[in-house]
Amino acid sequence: METSRTQVVIIGAGPAGLLLGQLLLNQGIDHVILELRSADYVRGRVRAGVLEMPTLEALREARVSERLDRESMRMPGFNLMWGEDSVHIDFALVNKYATVYGQTKITRDLMDARQAAGGVTHYEISNTQPHDFDTAHPWVSYEKDGRQFRIDCDFIAGCDGHHGATHKAAPASQITTYDYAFPFGWLAMLADVPPISEQVAWMNHPDGFLMCSLRSKTRSRYYFQVPRGEELKNWDADRFWKEYRRRLPPSLVDNLVTGPALEMSITPLSSSVSTPMRFGRMFLAGDAAHVVPPTGAKGLNMAMADAKLLFEGLKQYYGDKQNSTLLDTYSDDALARVWKAVRFSWWMTNLTHKLSDNPFNRKMQLAELEYISQSVAAQTTIAENFCGLRSRG
């Protein structure tokens, strides 16, 4: 086995791992990122694209915001629509805004910056395994090209997503996972067509949710609700556009421009939170610790917020004579924010999706949507949650 040593081993080069890596790199804290997939695969992954202000600030702090500041679009609010009715949720109610910038671009910016600064990432590794994180001498083993490696370290950052090695390695007697699966998923399409609306819109249709999101003035990301278990092979672009058009509010139908799909995918919707987010010298961040349905645009922001919080703990530890105060409160501080974001995503999902065939559910949704449209207090609550809550206070 080939051995080496570093201060922090980051497992996973998703948004959480890449941001943590960049912040550590700028701080001069020695670390390595280990990633299962190839660099091209990570670079090409299409996912989220709405950033809360703390995410924007973290990317600026990591000094990877040059292109973001140039190319991103400000999102001043969004529309909630049902039938011919709608309400605009204006983020000015809480003096904030969100930012539209695709995760693919964030990934590319972080990977480019990492490469330019000489950060070490090992791609296409397998059998990643964290060891001895309940002692002062943790280490990680993995394989690459048939060779076996061992890296000794001070800390392990588990940024390896929902099915990663770190979550699995957490001792069963110490971890508690709270899961909730919605009985539906989202069929998504990315296409180079101008968005039907400049405002991102969440739409409640009697046959199921649909959404208009955008990545730029010429690139749209559209979604609609499909039953859990629906298979992608049953859908092509034509069928997608037909169903999307059918569910659109009549006022938006004329704006719909169709085109070839750049990407289509199906995501089952579920919520999951594992507690705690620390096991000795191993810390979980992002999807490794929690997942949310995409309805509230929280997943990417939660991953970034965890990475930033963990960075603060590591910075204090290495910069202040191994002071572990912030590392010791990492799990509680992160979870205080995580549960609120999970609640908001769950609530938005329940408000906007077809929950069952029971018409009572829809009546409740319509009453709530109408209430929101009449109440500035309700709109303010939504804006406050959407733009991101702090951990405490």
Minimum CB distance to ligand APR, residue 56 (Å):
15
Which is closer to ligand APR, CB of 53 or CB of 252?
A: 53
Which is closer to ligand APR, CB of 156 or CB of 165?
A: 165
Minimum CB distance to ligand APR, residue 127 (Å):
8
Cα distance between residue 156 and residue 131, in whole Å: 9
The residues that touch ligand APR, with contacts defined as CB under 6 A, are 11-17, 34-37, 42, 47-48, 103, 128, 159-161, 164-165, 286-288, 299-300, 303
Minimum CB distance to ligand APR, residue 365 (Å):
25
Helices (H), the chain: 15-27, 39-44, 53-61, 66-71, 103-116, 165-169, 237-247, 250-253, 299-319, 325-352, 359-374, 376-387
Minimum CB distance to ligand APR, residue 42 (Å):
5
Q: In Å, how far are 29, 206, 229 from 358, measured between CA atoms? A: 56, 11, 21
Cβ–Cβ < 8 Å for 202, 78: yes
Which is closer to ligand APR, CB of 47 or CB of 354?
A: 47
Cα distance between residue 15 and residue 102, in whole Å: 12
DSSP structure class, residue 204: E
Which is closer to ligand APR, CB of 40 or CB of 254?
A: 40
Read off φ and ψ for residue 156, nearest 5 degrees. Answer: -115, 130
Cα distance between residue 303 and residue 54, in whole Å: 12
Minimum CB distance to ligand APR, residue 253 (Å):
30
Minimum CB distance to ligand APR, residue 281 (Å):
18
Minimum CB distance to ligand APR, residue 229 (Å):
21
Which is closer to ligand APR, CB of 21 or CB of 195?
A: 21
Which is closer to ligand APR, CB of 42 or CB of 335?
A: 42
As a whole number of Å, the CA-based R_g of the chain is 21
Which is closer to ligand APR, CB of 17 or CB of 185?
A: 17
DSSP structure class, residue 93: G
Q: Give residue 25's identity as a one-letter amino acid code.
A: L
Q: In Å, how far are 129, 152, 161, 226 from 7, measured between CA atoms? A: 17, 8, 21, 45
Cα distance between residue 295 and residue 353, in whole Å: 10
Which is closer to ligand APR, CB of 128 or CB of 225?
A: 128
Nearest-10 Cα torsion for 207, 194, 292, 11: 150
